[in-house]
Amino acid sequence: MTTVSRPVVASVSGPDANIDHVLWRTLFDDAGGIVLADGSASGLDINHSGDLRLTLSAVDDTATVGVGYYRYRGFELHVSPAHGLTLAAVTGSAKTYLIGVMYNPANESTDDGPLSLYAALDTAVTIPSGGSFRKVWGVTRQPSQVLSLAAKADYRQYVGPQLWAPPGVRPSDAALGTRLHDGVNDWLRVRNAAATGGEWKCLTLPDWDDLSLTGSVVTGAGLTPRIGVAGGRVWIEGQVKRSVVGANFVPDSDVTLFTLPDELCPARLVEMTLLTSFSGASTSARLQINTNGVVILNCADSTPWVQLDGCSWFPKAA
């Protein structure tokens, strides 16, 4: 047996204690652990640390659900080891299978419990009396098509609780969709690239990408110029200097630094003042971000370097 469901239990301290599953059921149904693609609340909480991928076979009609758990209607469905479901070949036209968690209240007192993994054509989902079904995946199969080539839809769009923690503290066991504020930045728990667990994505700091500089400038002091988006704004940072070794920027002379991707260009011309260095003292330079993405620097003095940190604007696509 690869799937068994039990009432949700709590073990914060002392002996395990059953939580009132009627209350838990109400909480999950009203609040929802995920939101479906159509915007409806799901009430299904999915374990973030298990291997919850859906794998489609290239040799038979088996769709395999990875190890993990699903909490729904006050019960927890354990899937271990991985569980196979049959998605039979189709004829005539393309057909879509729905795969998810079925709740059957008539099985609450049975050994396997009321939750089970369930797969059926979207036109043939049969829900027992007093029960309910929450879809997790959809698989659209063409006639005579190998199952592994079928189109797969993932209906899991996570929402979660808000946590507060000391700076630098980000719990590794938080559910996907959890938001956390550590006194400095905001974070969101998301599925990692391998789709086998979770990781924290910072919402208030950009995901940086290095900029491609023109031949007129190079990176200064090892601070590679880079660009990112956070809070709906575009940010750049880093340091530039003349590409000619030992040469300073020429006063009141325009130098093109780089060109922005189209989606990050400003809706109108942006100009700002930057920090530079001239004969050991601080001076200024003007940075011009054009709507076509061309970024131009003009220094007031014969300065050896210019710092780009703090430059920010709203992209035209915002």
pLDDT in tens, 196-216: 667 888 877 777 889 999 989
Name the residue among 44, 86, 88 with its Cα closest to residue 68.
44
* Cβ atoms within 10 Å, residue 236: 24
User: What is the SS3 assignment for 24?
Assistant: helix
Residue with the larger pLDDT of the pair 15 and 271: 271
Domain-terminating residue out of 123, 158, 193: 158
**Are 29 and 116 members of one domain?**
yes
- The pLDDT tens digits of the residues spanning 305-314 come to 888 988 899 8
Last residue of a domain, one of 97, 130, 158: 158
**Helical H segments across the chain, by residue range:** 21-31
- Quote the CA–CA distance of 313 and 291 in Å, as a whole number: 11
Number of domains in the chain: 3
In terms of domains, do 192 and 214 share one?
no
- Does 123 fall in a domain? yes
What length is written for the chain?
318
- Split at pLDDT 50, 70, 90, the class of 14 is very low
What is the rounded distance in angstroms from the CA atom of residue 227 to the CA atom of residue 118?
45
For the segment 128-140, the average pLDDT, to the nearest whole number, is 90
Examine the domain organization and report whether 154 and 237 are in the same domain: no
| Together in a domain, 148 and 176 | no
Q: Are 176 and 160 in contact (CB under 8 A)?
A: yes
For residue 34, is pLDDT > 50? Answer: no
For 7, the token pair is: 């009432």
Cβ atoms within 10 A of the Cβ of 265, count? 22
Cα separation, 64 vs 66, whole angstroms: 6
In a domain, 17, yes or no: yes
For residue 151, is pLDDT > 60?
Answer: yes
222 and 128 both lie in a single domain: no
AA letter at 84: G
Query: Do the bridges between strand 305-307 and strand 270-278 make them parallel or antiparallel, or are there none, so unpaired?
Result: antiparallel
Say whether both 137 and 271 belong to one domain. no
How many Å apart are CA 286 and CA 293, to the nearest integer?
16
Supply the pLDDT for residue 4.
67
Same domain, 173 and 224: no
CA angle 95, 97, 99 (to 5 degrees): 170
Q: Are strands 281-289 and 115-121 parallel, antiparallel or unpaired?
A: unpaired
Q: Structure tokens of 79?
A: 């899937």
Residues 248 and 260 in one domain: yes
pLDDT tens track for 161-180: 667 777 777 777 777 777 77
CA–CA gap between residue 41 and residue 32 (Å, rounded): 6
Statement to judge: residues 180 and 232 lie in one domain:
no
Asked if residues 105 and 116 have their Cβ atoms less than 8 Å apart, the reply is no
Strands 198-202 and 179-181 turn out to be unpaired
Q: Decide if 88 is inside a domain.
A: yes
Cis peptide before 167 (omega within 30 of 0): no
Q: Domain of 296: which CATH number?
A: 2.60.40.2460
Identify the CA nearest to 220 among candidates 249, 241, 245. 241
Range of the domain at 178: 162-202
pTM over 0.75: no
Nearest to 159 by CA among 52, 48, 79, 23: 48
Residue 276: CA count within 13 A, CB half-sphere: 27
Let me know if residue 318 belongs to a domain.
no
Q: Is residue 283 situated within a structural domain?
A: yes
Q: How far apart are CA 225 and CA 241, in angstroms?
A: 11
Considering all CA atoms of the chain, what is the largest pairwise distance in Å, rounded to the nearest integer? Answer: 83
Identify whether residues 22 and 117 lie together within a single domain: yes
- Please check the confidence at residue 134 and state whether its pLDDT lies above 60: yes
Per-residue pLDDT at 11: 34
Q: List the beta bridge partners of residue 261.
A: none
- Give yes or no: residues 197 and 237 share one domain: no
Check whether 318 has a pLDDT greater than 60.
Answer: no
Residue 94 has pLDDT above 90, yes or no: yes
Residue 117 lies in a domain: yes
Same domain, 218 and 301: yes
Q: For the domain that residue 133 is a member of, what is the CATH number?
A: 2.60.520
